[in-house]
Structure 1
């Protein structure tokens, strides 16, 4: 229970950071929401994207996956969301590195910005949240009348106090008939 709560908080914080990151500067003061998704696969250009066609879209999808994972208490959607965020961020870094002949961080505000740090941190928090979550509880078999024993490789049987006596016409687990004499 505690692990699910802590994992969910980590995952939700990671999703929040990932969705917030495109609204921050990513490189040389350019916000992440201005990079087109197509640019990640064809090469970074100066063309500006609409918000819905920007890098925000896969991060919003990752946030939706995170919410689904938290609600159904499943680790897999949260882990997939972390991989989506990290994958798109790393792909963006590779593409910018190709255009700029390398990427760096400058003290004058040039280079990588806080948006990239938020995206990477959000992806890591999503993966940590998935690792911490215990997931759904597994159903356990309940025993009503004592433990079952299994003689060396045979089928499970219940211990008995002697031969079972039951009427031949009654159900197998019915109590013995009353003596009315």
Structure 2
């Protein structure tokens, strides 16, 4: 955020300097807005033109491009504006040098003037602003190693979220075997010991029932 603000300030300052430069002297007392755009391609002559047919039009387009780039936080548009300003400035210097035979800087105002410095400085600020800007930030990306898509556990038909969770396994159940029945003669086997089989039961001695003698109403027991 701070980088975008700082880059936007630099870019807007560069655009303002570029738009102001055609209204300053460029060379030998001649204003920048008096140089026609076609002179930059065909050669500089002594004719003078209005602002809308001069390099001012190119710099105004670069300023509008800068404003759009700052609003959209587009580094590409701001950099393109800087290239336009610097490109026209360098092209003018080449044509002016061809027309005059050389470019000079003199204190009496007969050489390069402050208008050229405004244009060159404005283009440099535009490129610096595009370099400082961080641009538009995309959406939040998942952390490295994370998954933004549902995770499907191996062998499962139902997707689950990350981290994978597993369904609880079958609970431990107690034995469903029936409890050992108590032996008719020896009683239940403590601790789940050996249970006599049927043959052992047949050969086991029968308990002796004591004779209680004859009772009334009942025949004696043989």
| TM-score relative to the length of structure 1 | 0.82
What residue is the counterpart of 1:161 in the other structure? 165
**Number of equivalences:** 157
User: Which structure has the bigger radius of gyration?
Assistant: 2
- Separation of aligned partners in 1, 2:43 and 2:60: 22
Q: What is the CA deviation profile of residues 23-72 of structure 1, one whole-angstrom value per residue up to 9, with x for unaligned ones?
A: 00000010000000010000000111111001100000000000000000
CA distance 1:55–1:164, change in 2 (3 Å):
farther
TM-fit CA distance, 1:161: 3.0
SS for the counterpart of 2:26 is strand
Bigger RCO of structures 1 and 2 (CA < 8 A, at least 6 apart): 1
TM-fit CA distance, 1:148: 3.1
What residue is the counterpart of 2:90 in the other structure? 90
What residue is the counterpart of 1:71 in the other structure? 71
Moved over 4 A (4+): none
* Structure number with higher helix proportion: 1
| TM-score relative to the length of structure 2 | 0.67
Query: Residue 125 in 1 paired to residue 128 in 2?
Result: no
- The answer for unaligned runs of 5 or more in structure 1 is 150-156, 166-181
- Separation of aligned partners in 2, 1:110 and 1:125: 27
What residue is the counterpart of 1:168 in the other structure? none
